[in-house]
Structure 1
Amino acid sequence: MRIIETRVKSIYTKSRIPSVDYVINQYVGCQFACKYCYAKFICKWKPYGEWGTWVEVKVNAPELSRKYVEGEVVMSSISDSYQPIEAKMKLTRKILQNMSKRINLSILTKSPLVTRDIDIFRQFKNIKVGLTVNSFEGKEKKLFEPLAPIQRARINALKVLHEEGIKTYAFISPIIPEVTDVEAIVRETKSFADYFFFEVLNLRASGKEFQRILRDNYPESYEIMVNDEKFWRFVKRLKGEIKRLNVKTEGIEVHKRGWEFLKI
């Protein structure tokens, strides 16, 4: 794993994500290297090699995080703040220690390492912490996200956060037809997830390699994703399923022709 240390002028970046004002990416690149990751596009501007083989580290991020910003702040959008390198560098922890505790902060990760920082989370007035869960186990995990923490570890972390009084959410993503068991995830986590976010796979953004993996191993899923009629029929069915589950949601974010946000 190649580590590139850099220094930046600001750690808060204006966001184009709906309802998010700023994002923080103290790391660029991710050791989890999920095959479907949309952040792979950053390799166009970061000529360090294949996605998942390098991580850029913004070493002066902790001092820059002292700045107070208004609005919703998300950590992170093109990395995972608790990827393996964080256990040693503690860059995320240092940022959290330095940040104004009045900032509205949302953290999303796939790593149970996030529970390490519960002591700091308690100091924030408005913070929520989410774990990405998607029911990928066995063959799916090996094909789609072989280096990411297992589902059980993520679910357990979500439960620990909730039990420690931290507002939590389950980010069910990517939802892939015939693969992601949304109902099973919700039923297992609804007692300790304060709300849910549902994101359908953006096949185009997932890249050609993942498209090939999906087509070769799950042809029925691939056909639904590339056929407009079948895709929107799937979305309609999914929305109905989520309504029947009766949970607090943020909506379904459907990536088909750019950013489109469908409220439930």
Structure 2
Amino acid sequence: MKVRVIERRAKSIYTRSKIPGVEWAVNQYVGCAFACEYCYAKFLTRWKDYGRWGSWVEVKTNAPDLARKHVSGSIVMSTVSDPYQPIEAELKLTRKVLRYMDKRNELSVLTKSPLATRDIDLFKEFRTIEVGLTINGFRGREKRLFEPLTPVHEARVNALKELREAGLKTYVFVSPIIPEITDVSAIVEDTRGFADYYFFEVLNLRASGREFQELLRDEYPESYEVLTDGSAFEEFLWELKKEIRGLHVKAGGIETHRGGWEFIEP
């Protein structure tokens, strides 16, 4: 699928974040050609009438100049896009933003792409930085239905390993966790030793949108039932927390989408 590129100039690249514990978000791209079916950022299509989610990417052409600012507090890159989606290989916009950012800024980068390893040299220039890989273990049928255009599981794990071996602080964002589908223990075992800590996020069915809700209901009715039945969900959540504690890893927290972020100790 050909992706439409929309170029625009932004007034600022640092925007206040609503994520708990994060002061700022940086999105040099808006929209994402990975086009994950469950993506929570699809809500942007209400205001950006460019077409179906995943068919367009908005590029902030002056982002490198805007990135020079020093801001106090933590920054996450990115929240409504992926900084290393396919177009980045050509445009190198993320690399330019990293080059010009004030290296005193406290930065956390999150991606699904091994392309992030290209910028290890720039990551090392930051005083405080961590790089995370979203890893959900989707393969085969689930991969084809949920996120067919994303890098495969093994490529993400290998990228995480390369980043860690380069001396960078790394984390794994286990997301989305879908009952009966996501094998949290297998993901941890595949990445143990390559991650300083983990975040765990249960699928936010409401934010995933009507089309994905219908897809999950039709193709995986047992998973859908757990997510929509109050008592079944609570039982699933209790078992998940027990499983995570039993893995004995440092967990930054778990997002349940029923009660917000909850911190878990092994």
TM range (shorter): over 0.9
User: Normalized against structure 2, the TM-score is what?
Assistant: 0.97
Equivalent residue letter for 2:11: K
Task: Note the alpha carbon deviations across 1:184-242, whole angstroms, 9 max, x for none.
Answer: 00011111111000000000000011111111111100000000111011111100100
Q: 1:183 and 2:188 equivalent?
A: no
Equivalent residue letter for 2:96: K
Query: Which residue, 49, 53, 56 being the options, matches 1:54?
Result: 56
- Structure 2 Cα separation of the partners of residues 187 and 84 of structure 1: 28
- Structure 1 Cα separation of the partners of residues 262 and 108 of structure 2: 21
Matched ranges for 1:249-264 at <5 A: 249-256=251-258, 260-264=260-264
- Structure 1 Cα separation of the partners of residues 242 and 145 of structure 2: 29
- Report the 3-state secondary structure (helix = DSSP H, G, I; strand = E; otherwise coil) of the residue aligned with 2:206: helix
Q: 1:83 and 2:104 equivalent?
A: no
Equivalent residue letter for 2:46: K
Equivalent residue letter for 1:261: W
- Report the 3-state secondary structure (helix = DSSP H, G, I; strand = E; otherwise coil) of the residue aligned with 2:216: helix
2:222 is matched with 220
- Report the 3-state secondary structure (helix = DSSP H, G, I; strand = E; otherwise coil) of the residue aligned with 1:185: helix
- Structure 2 Cα separation of the partners of residues 190 and 45 of structure 1: 41
- Report the 3-state secondary structure (helix = DSSP H, G, I; strand = E; otherwise coil) of the residue aligned with 1:206: coil
Task: Note the alpha carbon deviations across 1:64-107, whole angstroms, 9 max, x for none.
Answer: 00000000100000000000000011000000000011111000
Equivalent residue letter for 2:182: T
2:205 is matched with 203
- Structure 2 Cα separation of the partners of residues 239 and 54 of structure 1: 37
Matched ranges for 1:27-38 at <5 A: 27-38=29-40
Task: Note the alpha carbon deviations across 1:126-158, whole angstroms, 9 max, x for none.
Answer: 100000000100000000000111111001000
- 1:110 deviation in Å? 0.3
2:239 is matched with 237
- Structure 2 Cα separation of the partners of residues 98 and 54 of structure 1: 26
Query: Which residue, 78, 96, 99 being the options, matches 1:97?
Result: 99
1:7 is matched with 9
Task: Note the alpha carbon deviations across 1:44-78, whole angstroms, 9 max, x for none.
Answer: 11000000000000000000000000001000000
1:139 is matched with 141
Which 4+ runs in 1 deviate beyond 2 A? none
Equivalent residue letter for 1:110: K
- Structure 2 Cα separation of the partners of residues 190 and 72 of structure 1: 25
- Report the 3-state secondary structure (helix = DSSP H, G, I; strand = E; otherwise coil) of the residue aligned with 2:260: strand
CA RMSD of aligned residues (A): 0.7
- 1:116 deviation in Å? 0.1
Task: Note the alpha carbon deviations across 1:155-201, whole angstroms, 9 max, x for none.
Answer: 10000000010100010000000100000000111111110000000
Matched residue count: 262
Equivalent residue letter for 1:255: H
- Report the 3-state secondary structure (helix = DSSP H, G, I; strand = E; otherwise coil) of the residue aligned with 2:72: coil
**Structure 2: 5+ residue runs without aligned partners?**
none
Equivalent residue letter for 1:260: G
Equivalent residue letter for 2:238: K
- Report the 3-state secondary structure (helix = DSSP H, G, I; strand = E; otherwise coil) of the residue aligned with 1:204: coil
2:164 is matched with 162
User: Normalized against structure 1, the TM-score is what?
Assistant: 0.98
- Structure 2 Cα separation of the partners of residues 10 and 120 of structure 1: 22
- 1:262 deviation in Å? 1.6
- Structure 2 Cα separation of the partners of residues 255 and 88 of structure 1: 36
